[in-house]
Amino acid sequence: MQDKVPTGLDRKETEVYRHLDSSRLPKHIAIIMDGNGRWAKRRHMPRVAGHRAGVTAVRSTVETAARIGIGALTLYAFSEENWKKRPKSEVDFLMRLLSRYLKAEVTTLNKNDIRLEYIGRQYELPVDVQDRMEWAREATSHNSGMTLTLALNYSARSELVDAFRSMVNAASQNGGMEHLRIDEDTVARHLYTRHLPDPDLVVRTSGEMRLSNFLLWQLAYAEIYVTPTLWPDFRGLHLLEGIAEYQKRERRYGGLNHGEHAAPAHAKSGK
């Protein structure tokens, strides 16, 4: 149990945090924020009301993660599929909401020593939104605490396509394609997330059991925590509960449990 509790946690958060092992906190947490539409529908409100309510969940989650010393937090804010398949009115609202969020939250991000980054095909977003994003990134660039990454117009498959294009382009400028060497380290260096460690924990809200084209390469060994809580209702307390569940698990990376020994070859073959 923890003797020292970070400042800023409320009573319920403190109660959960005291049972965590601070030496085994995940270094990088990724969150698939899902359930805004269902949250609004249950209240007989328009979908955009759910998106607006989700901003409060973002603020609470980000601040709690920073307070307890999480090194990196990545939020799946807006997928490439959202951009192509949602009604234009909803997409336009989300872009305005993003711009307002960035303008309003920079002061809080700086107060909590949080540096803001983005992943995704940003160049496809409206120019005024890109300008606001760059302004917020620059305004927090001096911070050295948690890295908050917003996945905007993001698709894991597109990320891999862009990574391989980048590798081919690098080879063509370095003596030709015969110099192209592809291995896991090379791929990782060309991903959008090359500045981040792979996530240790991925949280999915709203009870859905899928990754939704999110960080497919990076989540290869991540622990998955699914909560039925809809995103607008998610708070720092729920994040701490996810971390508590994460700490109950033994991460094996394809190996054996602690204390477990490999079976002899004849046992594996049934001889």
List the catalytic residue out of 36, 82, 110, 183: 82
Q: Which residue is catalytic, options 3, 21, 34, 174?
A: 34
The span from the CA of 187 to the CA of 164, in Å, is: 7
Is 34 catalytic? The answer is yes
- Contacts for 15 with CB less than 8 Å, ≥ 6 apart: none
Catalytic residue at 82? yes
Alpha-carbon span 119 to 115, nearest angstrom: 14
- The closest of 64, 70, 60 to 29, measured between CA atoms, is 70
DSSP string for residues in 15-41: HHHTTS-GGG--SEEEEE---HHHHHH
Following DSSP, what letter does each residue of 97-108 receive, concatenated? HHHHHHHHHHHH
Give kind and range of the element (H or E) at residue 74.
strand 72-79
* 202 phi, psi to nearest 5 deg: -115, 130
Which sequence positions are flagged as catalytic? 34, 82
